Amino acid sequence: MSTKDFADGRALTILLTGGRAPVTLELARSFHAAGHRVLVAESARFHLCRVSRAVARSFQVPPPNPDTEPFLAALESIVTTERVDVLIPTCEEIFYVARGLDRLHPHCKVWAPPIEQLRELHDKWRFVMLAERLGLPTPSTKLIQTREDWLALAAAEPIRESFVLKPAYSRFASQVLFMHEEDSLDNRRRMLKDNVSAVSPAAPWVAQRLVHGRHICTYSVAFEGQLIAHSAYPSRYRVGQGASVYFESVEHETSLAWVRSLVQAIRYTGQIAFDFIEEADGRLYAIECNPRATSGVHLFGTGEGLVTAFLHPSKLTIAGTLLTPHASSGAMLTLPMVAAGLGGIRSISELRHWRRAFRSARDVVFSAADPRPYAEQLLLLADAWRTSRKRGIKLVQATTIDIEWNGDRP
């Protein structure tokens, strides 16, 4: 990526991909508020950015999964025809964008690291190996890539600690399995036998020690190995085992130091996010890495913080400036937040805490000045439901099936 910043005050054309994601809508509104022209490329028929007043033009492009070439050809056509200055992928389509860096870089600045770096960070096994080489704490982890590896877990008796099983390539904790110390041998064998077909060398899993404690999520923007924007938030409310739906900024120096160490060691440039668990004694373990945008974007709101990070990164690195969210009320995804409240509250005290969080948080999709994306959520959800029925997959999987990246295909 070029180290040259754009001139202050110049109106630029920004192309965002992943228009279905609330974080993309947040970025679109931020760039629009700063006076830039915002375009969005998205493979879904309905998406939040499609009807946003912040977006000058929305393009429906071919899905990158499973055929990447038409997707890249469409992006190349957009960046050349529309004279795009900056391309910012936000979701897992970043892996496919990274495959086309050689053809996109001559036309615009692309906020995507090389594909090999993305592979190492996204793969839950390779990420743990990278962290271990750098001396950064992660839970003990074992690679599972054959039927024999998988069934060997059922033969161990007794197991000395609880652990979690998950695909090396996965999202939203949609396929996570838990194996507890107190589980009977028969129950473990039954669970593993039911899921053995999911494991192969092309679709490996990991078995990772189950860490108990507070969940901390981070989102950062880095440039040439230096953090230039960073946010952290506890994962207080989630739907099931999936992603957080309520976001409140916290200062967390231990996770900041962890992220800074890794980013500096690999000289990373791009967006990057981590999930941590902090034990009661303060020990912090990184669980996984998402080298893309995540909900930490919402903590910056629609101000110029992230706009500055993406358009003037070298200025921030030279000054040694780290942009962080301003202290403010929380942010949330309203509909999932209601579901989290209905499904997770177990006491009057928990109800009071949930009500306080709900009443103080802004909805990240709704805006009185830009109301149509809020209604678009229903069309997006209905389209995902049709896809889930047609393909026989879970609804959450249907929301990303056309952009998800599960390792290089043979």
- Identify whether the C-beta of residue 30 lies closer than 8 Å to the C-beta of residue 304: yes
Strand partners for 58: 40
For residue 34, the domain's CATH number is: 3.40.50.20
Domain boundary residue among 209, 234, 250?
A: 209
Residues 244 and 316 in one domain: yes
Measured CA to CA, the distance from residue 395 to residue 9 in angstroms comes to 43
- Identify whether the C-beta of residue 173 lies closer than 8 Å to the C-beta of residue 227: no
For residue 179, the domain's CATH number is: 3.30.1490
Neighbours of 248 (CB within 10 A): 20
Residues 275 and 247 in one domain: yes
- Identify whether the C-beta of residue 215 lies closer than 8 Å to the C-beta of residue 276: yes
Residue 334, domain member (yes or no): yes
What is the rounded average pLDDT of the residues 96-112? 97
pLDDT of residue 410: 43
- Kindly provide the b/e burial profile for residues 256-294, where b requires at least 16 CB atoms within 10 angstroms of the residue's own CB: bebbbebbeebebbbbbbbbbbbeeeeebbbbbbbbbbb
Domain boundary residue among 209, 226, 249?
A: 209
Measured CA to CA, the distance from residue 177 to residue 207 in angstroms comes to 9
**Ramachandran sector of residue 83 (left: φ over 0; alpha: ψ -120 to 50; beta: rest):** left
pLDDT of residue 87: 98
Residue 194, domain member (yes or no): yes
- Per residue in 349-384, pLDDT (tens digit) is 888 888 888 888 999 999 999 999 999 999 999 999
Record the tokens describing residue 2, joined without a space. Answer: 């070029």
Residue 2, domain member (yes or no): no
What is the rounded average pLDDT of the residues 198-219? 93
Number of domains in the chain: 3
Residues 251 and 354 in one domain: yes
pLDDT band at 21 (very low <50, low <70, confident <90, very high): very high
Residue 410, domain member (yes or no): no
Residue 133, domain member (yes or no): no
**pLDDT of residue 6 exceeding 50:** yes
Residues 355 and 375 in one domain: no
Residues 178 and 266 in one domain: no
Choose among 29, 27, 41: nearest CA to 71.
41
Q: What share of the chain is helix, strand, coil (3-state, %, to 5)?
A: 40, 20, 40
Residues 93 and 174 in one domain: no
For residue 323, the domain's CATH number is: 3.30.470.20
Residue 123, domain member (yes or no): no
Neighbours of 73 (CB within 10 A): 14
Residue 124, domain member (yes or no): no
pLDDT band at 217 (very low <50, low <70, confident <90, very high): very high
Domain boundary residue among 209, 241, 263?
A: 209
Between 289 and 398, residue with greater pLDDT: 289
Neighbours of 167 (CB within 10 A): 19
Choose among 144, 109, 133: nearest CA to 15.
109
**Domain housing 177:** 140-209
Residue with tokens 């990240």: 364
What is the rounded average pLDDT of the residues 131-159? 85
Residues 144 and 80 in one domain: no
The C-alpha angle with vertex 72 and arms to 66 and 73, in degrees rounded to 5, equals 115
Residues 193 and 220 in one domain: no
Residues 384 and 334 in one domain: no
Measured CA to CA, the distance from residue 397 to residue 407 in angstroms comes to 16
Residues 317 and 225 in one domain: yes
**pLDDT of residue 302 exceeding 90:** no
Residues 224 and 275 in one domain: yes
- Per residue in 168-205, pLDDT (tens digit) is 998 876 678 888 877 777 777 788 788 888 889 989 99
Report how far apart, in Å, the C-alpha atoms of 254 and of each of 129, 191, 300, 341 are.
20, 36, 21, 29
Chain-centre distance for alpha carbon 153: 30
pLDDT band at 155 (very low <50, low <70, confident <90, very high): low
Residues 189 and 78 in one domain: no
**pLDDT of residue 1 exceeding 80:** no
Residue 356, domain member (yes or no): yes
pLDDT of residue 387: 93
